[in-house]
Structure 1
Amino acid sequence: MYKCALVLAAGQGKRIKSDLPKVLHKVCGKEMLKHVIDSIRNSGIDDINVIIGKGAELVKERTQDRNVSYSLQAEQLGTGHAVQCSKEFLQGKKGVVAIFTGDTPLIKQSTVERLVEDHINNKNAATILTAIVDDPTGYGRIVRKDNQVLKIVEHKDCNEEELKITEMNSGIYCFDIELLVKALDKLNNNNEQGEYYLTDVIEILKSENKVIGAVVTDFEETIGVNSRVQLAQAEEILKNRINLKHMENGVTLIDPKTTYIGIDVEIGKDTIIYPNNILEGNTKIGSNCLLYQNSRIADSTIGDEVDIQSSVILDSKIGDNTTVGPFAYIRPESTIGKHARIGDFVEIKKSTIGDGTKVSHLTYIGDAEVGSDCNFGCGTVVVNYDGKVKHKTVIGDNSFIGCNTNLVSPVKVGDNTYIAAGSTITAEVKEGDLAVARAKQRNISGWVEKKGLKK
């Protein structure tokens, strides 16, 4: 059966008090809207239409990598009106449409699957995702009879008995497409807000003796984010969910409360992660790694048995059995080989470092290609920028770069070379050579006393 989905993402979200559209605020490093889209797509629904309004171009820009289509809700006149704006997308389709809100980032793939399966198996006209909550104040209540849904009653309209109902409406639905399209034409805005409500579609279908079903899920999955406080609550829930998954998969988190792992991060078993680490984006961490405290790793691939201490690694690759830090900065588009050493206060920028190479401390390497089994002394700088253009330096295998060396790009250093400490290298150093490029030392006898500086 054909399946598609709508995601309502047109509101600005006044209570969140931001110039950024609400659905683009991030939870565990990913925009809320992307969380929803990914859960839908992972459930097997590929045809997804996002209904946009406030900040439409920015929402498009931020979700263009998700292969979705868009409908525009120029004016925000209610949830029913939002779905009406997608009629062109729905027109002529037969099957099932699931409807979500873009501010519910905690919805799980498994719940989407269950909602759609229940809808299809029971041949419902509509199926509502619901939750049982201890205090349903403010939520619409699900009124049932013989387990069939009779209606949804908004809190303000509940009578004394309906106020006791603890099953609430999540605002997530599944509909028969053709029945939904027909019902949308019957919506009106005869209410205090002058808006068109999607919940009225349920009443329309019920009045036509159609079967309305409901699927109950955990309340936390249905939480909508409308404020910064709720954003923090969603962050906490998803963080705990992610951390639990990794621990169940064989990762040790010394202090899960202070470990922040993005939803798309992959971690191998027997890796140990100390407090205050932040792992973001499409990061992959290998097995048997040690991530000591206070590192940030984003969109990077880390090999097996890698030790990292108090460092920043961005959009880069680190080979097996390599150590990084403390206080190293690996900038984007860098590749560090196996059994390498990147030490304290070392910065690597857009460079390749070969296997077994040691860059132990206080060194900058930018726009360079470094061979294997090299050794960099303290204070080495690759001088890659001439004020207008970045240039490349190439260093061969088994080279020894003495302390306080400047390599002025573009320059080439051959295999098995030595560069004396304090040298500024501006010309090629050929294989097997020793390069010395510094002024000859001259001592002036008695200079201190002559200048009256002797103490």
Structure 2
Amino acid sequence: MNNWVGVILAAGTSSRMKSKTSKVLHEIGGKAMLVHIIESLKKASIKDIIVVTPENNESIINIIGEDVLYAIQKDPNGTGDAMNSCLDLIKGKYDQILLMNGDTPLLEAKTLTSLMEFHSQESSDMTFLSGEIANIKGLGRIIRNENGKIIKIVEEHEATPKELESKEFNSGVYCINNMNLWEDISSITISNKGEYYITDLAEIYSNKGKNIQSMVIQDTDELIGVNDRYDLSIVEEKIRSRILKELMLNGVTIRDPRSTFIESTVSIEQDTTIEPNTYIYGKTIIGKECTIGPNTLITNSHIESRCSIINSYIEDAIIESEVDIGPFSHLRKDTIIRSQTHIGNFVEIKKSEIGSNSKIGHFAYIGDAELGNEVNIGAGTVTCNFDGVNKNKTIIGKKSFIGCDTMLVAPISIGDEAITGAGAVVTNDVQSKTLVVGIPAKVKKNFSTKET
């Protein structure tokens, strides 16, 4: 294929979105709309990409970064003017241009690749990606002469009744030969709406006898553009369907796709089952043979193999293999659960590490804590980590047994194989192999090695 550059038009005012956020930055399936389009261009082997933005483009650059080039369209004077803003970045540097709008995130790389190949094979000067449907609304029509050759593209509001009968519509995706393009763009005249349309090139090329082609897409859903929040919801549903289909084809069981929401940034290994009403967001990784849900929300977490999470909320946590959690538990940011641990119902854990083979059965709060292996936490246990000014740490040694309703007033350290009696309020460190009871807790017994 010839030397290509991708150009994405993203300088529109997005007024119909009724949002302070640029339309192309609204998220779909966990990624900004513009990110979906850039990824499709890269998968279609286009290395150099130019994004046309308004002058105030800091928010776009913050999301997209410096991996693309930026052209500034100072005033929103139409697609022809937007293309002209790329002049210095394109002229004399590339053979071919793939031009598309920034609000069509459903376009797939394979479609773009097919369009570029068709354009090259036909030695076309300009090739449109078009669609055919019975009831076209709000889209420009591709007009052909009696010999079937394309003679122009007309916007719907400027079309005659006869032209509106055309069933072939313009998608806003074009392949254009870069030779002499800029002279032709300068020939575009202003429209009745005060804008310059890149679609006018079709008539200019036709009058010059240039080769104009169109490739009709089979799946017109790929061409759905986002103009408002309702369109956004339609595209979100279709992206979600693609994500779930790909997961299922790769060995993940999804009980009810209609009630399952998984973002495109999520990775799930085979033989894992996702139960209904489950939401998995961000850069979450889930290993093999897990059961997730029902009624579970997971964000930005790493869950290893053979875990079970039911009716719980997991955020920014690491969960090692063979851990079971829930129902009704909450693992907060910076929590690590080591392997073969049981976290039961109504447990909240924050910024803590729980050792392997430990048990926190029910009704507990563990915050800013470090638990060794094989620790048992009784019902109602609370690490009192906040003194009104600072968050303080609790350390519990391996094989310790913390009795029901124990209050551990941090900062505090509980030694290995220590025991606290039910209802104890522990304000001082506890040595290994020691039983403490009472309010405040006092030493009841020291265990010898033989007795233990």
Query: Do they fold alike, i.e. is TM over 0.5?
Result: yes
> Could you report, residue by residue, the CA deviation over 1:402-454 in whole angstroms, capped at 9, with x for unpaired residues?
2222333333333222222323334333333333352489xxxxxxxxxxxxx
Give the equivalent residue in structure 2 for 1:78.
78
Q: Cα deviations across residues 132-183 of structure 1 (Å, max 9, x unaligned)?
A: 2221233222234667543323334445554333221111122233443343
Give, in angstroms, the shift of residue 251 of structure 1.
2.2
- Aligned: 1:192 with 2:167: no
1:389 Cα deviation after fit = 3.0
Contact 2:426 2:439 in 1 (8 A): no
Q: Distance in 1 between matches of 2:431 and 2:400?
A: 11
Q: Distance in 2 between matches of 1:154 and 1:317?
A: 53
Q: Tell me, in whole angstroms, the C-alpha distance in 1 between the residues paired with 2:287 and 2:24.
A: 32
SS in 2 for 1:335: strand
The answer to whether the Cα contact below 8 Å between 2:427 and 2:440 also exists between their aligned partners in 1 is no
Matched AA of 2:142 = I
CA drift of 1:376 comes to: 0.9
Task: Return the offset for 1:341.
Answer: 1.4
How far apart are the structure 2 equivalents of 1:440 and 1:302?
37
Q: Which residue of 1 aligns with 2:239?
A: 238
Contact 1:20 1:55 in 2 (8 A): no
Q: 1:159 to 1:76 in 2, by over 3 A?
A: closer
Deviates more, 1:68-77 or 1:136-145: 136-145
Within 1, Cα distance between the matches of 2:244 and 2:305? 20
Alignment partner, residue 337 of structure 1: 338
Aligned to 1:68: 68
Distance 2:372 2:115 in 1: 56
Q: State the alpha-carbon separation in 1 of the partners of residues 433 and 418 from structure 2.
A: 5
**1:180–1:201 CA contact under 8 A, matched in 2:** no
Are the structure 2 counterparts of residues 177 and 315 from structure 1 closer, same or farther at C-alpha, using a change threshold of 3 Å? Answer: farther
CA-atom RMSD in angstroms: 2.4
The 1:398–1:177 alpha-carbon spacing in structure 2 relative to 1, beyond 3 Å, is: farther
1:283 aligns to 2:284 (yes or no): yes
**Partner of 2:142: helix, strand, or coil?**
strand
SS of the residue aligned with 2:233?
helix
> Any conservation in 1 of the 2:369–2:393 contact (CA below 8 Å)?
yes
Q: 1:417, 1:429 within 8 Å by CA — same for their partners in 2? A: yes
CA distance in 2, matches of 1:178, 1:396: 74
Q: 1:252 to 1:50 in 2, by over 3 A?
A: same
Is 2:41 the counterpart of 1:43? no
1:122 aligns with: 122
- Does the C-alpha gap of structure 1 residues 440 and 374 become closer, same or farther in structure 2, counting only changes over 3 Å? closer
TM-score where L is the length of structure 1? 0.89
Q: Could you say which residue in structure 2 is the equivalent of 1:447?
A: none
Alignment CA distance shift 1:285-1:82 (3 Å)? same
- Corresponding residue SS for 2:205: helix
Give deviations 1:262-314, integer Å, cap 9, x for gaps. 12222222222222111112222222222222111112222222111111111
Q: Tell me which amino acid in the other structure corresponds to 1:357.
A: S
Is residue 101 of structure 2 the alignment partner of residue 101 of structure 1?
yes
Residue 78 of structure 1 deviates from its aligned partner by: 0.6
Alpha carbons 1:125, 1:179 under 8 Å: kept: no
Match runs of 1:33-432 below 5 Å? 33-53=34-54, 56-64=57-65, 67-144=67-144, 149-159=150-160, 162-189=163-190, 191-217=191-217, 218-432=219-433
SS for the counterpart of 1:120 is helix
Please report the TM-score for the alignment, with normalisation by the length of structure 2. Answer: 0.89
Identical positions, percent: 38
Letter matched to residue 413 of structure 1 = I
The CA distance in 2 between the partners of 1:179 and 1:308, in whole Å, is: 61
Deviation at 1:43, TM superposition (A): 2.5
Cα offsets for 1:354-387 (capped at 9, x unmatched): 2212122122222222222211111222222333
Moved more, 74-83 or 130-139: 130-139
Does structure 1 retain, via aligned residues, the 8 Å contact 2:152–2:200?
Answer: no
Stretches of structure 2 that go unaligned for 5 or more consecutive residues are 443-452
